[in-house]
């Protein structure tokens, strides 16, 4: 069979864009099919990228050679490093983006991919060999037991069939989507956009367990109708830190850097000149504004709960606990007298202001009442009312750590369809799915998995496949046990060599990474030779209260004082954390043994002697990739894993060993 494409990506949201970028740049002939290509890269909800743990993921996506960091840097209108008062392990880069320019930038970047075709259309069905949802339905077995199935293509609502070798479904909030504002219900995945109706029925008929979730968004107000003097301005960082390492590396070259010298002081001066990174966001920067709700507002909300779709019973599905609507907050935190809200500009050339913090699906008249009770919003004009959207998704116990479905080989799922919430979570999954689909097509094996100690992206996928969430999953720093390692400043050290190995990091990024690494190593090495009052500088820097900037002043070292702040912070963090990280490395090494002990995909758990019934059921359902992953499934005990380890060893020691690593 001749395929029209190696890979078809269904959906052009954050998961789809990143998947198409990765797959096509890895050489796969890729098609990105989306309902409305002019909306590719659209920000459905808040006009911002990053934040705590999410920002780390954007840095990771970038370090692997992804798209999101570059698009954010090019369209950011306010950059802030969150949690700066805490340790660098939990700093979270965040940027407000101009949402129209962001989508346009994603589309521009995708247009530079030579192997990528963008197609406007709705995918209604998947063509699956051996499946029940395909064009050859009459040949499909009429049984509830599903035979081995593999993806062969997709069918559009127009009836066009497109053949492919792998497909990535990234349909976000669009499957059978229904929007709610009070009693009013409208079909559609996002305001002004249609719902995708066919695909979830097709997934169900292929045997997938499909669920229904909801999410919501706040109203958008007209800038000119707001009295900003009644809000507290939130300014961006004076020296913004870019998301993309390509911008961070900047131009590490200057003629003086080529000087040769042997003494430590002049070498430091030379290394320092190499470290001068200067990045300025290309777009003008703006302020956001902080305000508060009040008791009067809460009373009106309480009085109108019977008209709120979540409380009237009109919506039954679960929403993201960590992004609650204002009606949820008022009910759940009844004793709180006010809740913060932030006014965030949606772009430079649009009057739309996003009211972060009051996501709601209350009726329009109630929204008007509550908004106008906020000081400064007395005369607010609504550009759009807040709404909630209900949509179909697929429970993620049905995917492997590679994002490939267990049920249909060559079929990958990524983004909000996998029970997650957020652009960054979607993009991370899209990138992993794009990489694995491309590897499957090129080598027959989808085997790219990041471990929990390597990346938040690894934590995300491992959590999804071992503890499928019952509500939309959002990333937090607290989900990562190795967060001292998983910092936003070192994502390139952790992942760029891996990105290079798999072919996603191009020559230019690789050369810039190496140059930066050399400079950091060089300056760190030189610091190791310096002493202050007889104490090695590196020992002083390990003390929490000592900074590199203070030490430089004490030493009266001009080159150290002139060190680029970003470079100084990188080096200081590296030195400060060295001891903790060495200890954590030992723990990771112990875990690594469990992680590398893979369980064959065709492993028959029923044959493990002595396994408890509950363990048998859970292991059969989740089919963990490794013994380590098996241990993380809730309800699986160390004793179960010991029995499993013996059985896996036995199977692997047999001569006809199964070498399938395709997961
Ligand atoms: P999406 O960005 O939804 O993109 C899906 C893409 O698939 C679209 O391009 C669509 O056109 C396309 N598509 C769908 N079906 C088909 C088909 N059959 N054929 C072809 N193309 C198809 N996230 C938060 O973190 N916090 C929030 O508070 C929050 N609130 C939200 C409120 C609303 C109203 C909405 C709509 C979303 C909200 N989100 C929120 C979610 C956030 O938008 C998503 O997490 C993120 O966009 C998911 O990215 P994705 O790529 O998976 O899907």
314-323: average pLDDT: 76
391-399: average pLDDT: 95
**For residue 440, pLDDT beyond 50:** yes
463 neighbors 51 (Cβ within 8 angstroms): no
For 234, other C-beta atoms within 10 Å of its C-beta total 15
- Taking only the tens place, the pLDDT of each residue in 355-374 is 999 999 999 999 999 999 99
Q: How far is the CA of 329 from the centre of ligand 1 (A)?
A: 23
- pLDDT at position 274 is 56
Query: 290 is written with which tokens?
Result: 């902080």
- pLDDT at position 653 is 58
CA 195 to chain centre: 24
**Interhelix angle for 99-111 vs 14-25, to 10°?**
20
Residue labelled with tokens 């909000």? 416
pTM of the model: 0.91
Q: In what order do the strands lie in the sheet with 184-187?
A: 184-187, 178-181, 387-394, 210-217
Mutation choice for ligand 1 from 35, 44, 52, 185, CB with most ligand atoms inside 8 A:
44
CA 614 to chain centre: 32
433: alpha, beta or left, given left = phi > 0 and alpha = psi -120 to 50?
alpha
The closest-lying atom of ligand 1 relative to the alpha carbon of residue 42 is: 2
pLDDT confidence bin for 657, thresholds 50/70/90: very low
Does residue 323 line the site of ligand 1, with CB under 6 A?
yes
Question: What does DSSP assign to residue 622?
Answer: H
Q: How far is the CA of 307 from the centre of ligand 1 (A)?
A: 26
Q: How far is the CA of 568 from the centre of ligand 1 (A)?
A: 39
Do the strands 116-120 and 30-34 form a parallel or antiparallel pair, or are they unpaired?
parallel
**What are the DSSP calls for 69-136, one per residue?**
HHHHHHHEEEEEEETTTS-GGG-EEEEEE-HHHHHHHHHHHHHT-TTEEEEE--EEEEEEET-SSSTT
Does residue 11 line the site of ligand 1, with CB under 6 A?
yes
439-445: average pLDDT: 96
225-242: average pLDDT: 95
588 neighbors 578 (Cβ within 8 angstroms): no
Residues whose CB falls within 8 Å of the CB of residue 89, separated by 6 or more in sequence, listed in order: 477, 483, 484, 486, 487, 577
The 3 state secondary structure assigned to 487-534 is CCCCHHHHHHHHHHHHCCCCHHHHHHHHHHHHHHHHHHHHHCCCEECC
Query: 293 is written with which tokens?
Result: 């709700």
**For residue 253, pLDDT beyond 70:** no
- pLDDT at position 408 is 95
**Interhelix angle for 638-653 vs 613-622, to 10°?**
60
- pLDDT at position 277 is 62
Distance CA 310, CA 316 (A): 7
**For residue 511, pLDDT beyond 50:** yes
Q: How far is the CA of 569 from the centre of ligand 1 (A)?
A: 36
- pLDDT at position 570 is 86
**For residue 203, pLDDT beyond 60:** yes
319: three-class secondary structure by DSSP: coil
């Amino acid at each position: 069979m001749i395929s029209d494409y190696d890979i078809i990506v269904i959906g052009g949201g954050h998961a789809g864009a990143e998947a198409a970028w990765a797959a096509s740049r890895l050489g796969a002939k890729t098609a990105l099919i989306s309902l409305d290509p002019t909306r590719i890269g659209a920000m459905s909800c808040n006009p911002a990228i990053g934040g705590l743990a999410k920002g780390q993921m954007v840095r990771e996506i970038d370090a692997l050679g992804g798209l999101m960091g570059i698009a954010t840097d090019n369209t950011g209108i306010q950059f802030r490093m969150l949690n700066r008062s805490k340790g660098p392990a939990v700093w979270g880069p965040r940027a407000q983006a101009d949402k129209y320019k962001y989508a346009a930038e994603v589309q521009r970047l995708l247009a530079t991919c030579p192997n990528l075709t963008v197609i406007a259309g709705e995918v209604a069905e998947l063509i699956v060999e051996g499946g029940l949802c395909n064009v050859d339905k009459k040949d499909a077995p009429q049984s509830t037991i599903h035979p081995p199935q593999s993806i062969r293509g997709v069918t559009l609502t127009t009836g066009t069939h497109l053949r492919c070798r792998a497909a990535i479904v990234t349909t976000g909030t669009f499957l059978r989507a229904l929007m709610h504002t009070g009693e009013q219900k409208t079909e559609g995945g996002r305001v002004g956009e249609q719902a995708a109706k066919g695909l979830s029925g097709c997934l169900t008929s292929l045997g997938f367990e499909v669920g229904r979730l909801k999410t919501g968004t706040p109203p958008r107000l007209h800038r000119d109708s707001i009295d900003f003097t009644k809000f507290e301005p939130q300014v961006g960082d004076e020296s913004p830190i870019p998301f993309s390492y390509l911008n961070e590396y900047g131009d590490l070259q200057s003629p003086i850097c080529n000087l040769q010298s042997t003494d430590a002081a002049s070498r430091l001066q030379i290394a320092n000149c190499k470290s001068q990174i200067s990045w300025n966001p290309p777009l003008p920067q703006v302020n956001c504004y902080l305000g508060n709700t009040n008791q009067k507002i809460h009373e009106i909300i309480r009085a109108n709960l019977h008209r709120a779709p979540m409380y009237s019973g009109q919506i039954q599905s679960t929403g993201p606990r960590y992004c609650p609507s204002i009606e949820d907050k008022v009910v759940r935190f009844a004793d709180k007298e006010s809740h913060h809200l932030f006014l965030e500009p949606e772009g430079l050339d649009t009057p739309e202001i996003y009211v972060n913090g009051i996501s709601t699906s209350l009726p329009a008249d109630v929204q008007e009442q509550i908004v106008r009770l906020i000081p400064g919003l007395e005369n607010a004009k609504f550009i759009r009312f807040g709404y909630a959207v209900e949509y179909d998704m697929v429970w993620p116990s049905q995917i492997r750590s590679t994002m490939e479905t267990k049920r249909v080989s060559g079929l990958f799922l990524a983004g909000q369809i996998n029970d997650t919430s957020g652009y960054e979570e979607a993009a991370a999954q899209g990138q992993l799915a794009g990489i694995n689909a491309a590897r499957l097509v090129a080598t027959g094996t989808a085997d790219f998995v990041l471990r929990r100690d390597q990346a938040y992206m690894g934590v995300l996928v491992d959590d999804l496949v071992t503890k499928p969430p019952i509500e939309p999953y959002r990333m937090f720093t607290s989900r990562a046990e190795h967060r001292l390692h998983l910092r936003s400043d070192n994502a390139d050290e952790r992942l760029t060599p891996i990105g290079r190995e798999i072919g996603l990091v191009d020559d230019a990024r690789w050369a810039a990474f190496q140059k930066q690494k050399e400079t950091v190593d060089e300056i760190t090495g030189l610091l190791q030779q310096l002493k202050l009052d007889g104490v090695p500088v590196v020992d002083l820097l390990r003390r929490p209260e000592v900074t590199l900037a203070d030490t430089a002043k004490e030493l009266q070292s001009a080159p150290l004082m002139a060190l680029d702040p970003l470079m100084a912070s990188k080096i200081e963090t590296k030195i400060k954390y060295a001891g903790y990280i060495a200890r954590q490395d030992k723990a990771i090494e112990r875990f690594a043994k469990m992680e590398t002990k893979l369980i064959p995909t065709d492993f028959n758990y029923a044959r493990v002697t002595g396994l408890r019934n509950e363990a048998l059921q859970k292991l059969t359902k989740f089919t963990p990739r490794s013994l380590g992953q098996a241990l993380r499934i809730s309800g699986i005990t160390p004793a179960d894993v010991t029995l499993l380890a013996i059985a896996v060893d036995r199977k692997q020691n047999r001569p006809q060993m199964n070498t399938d690593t395709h997961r």
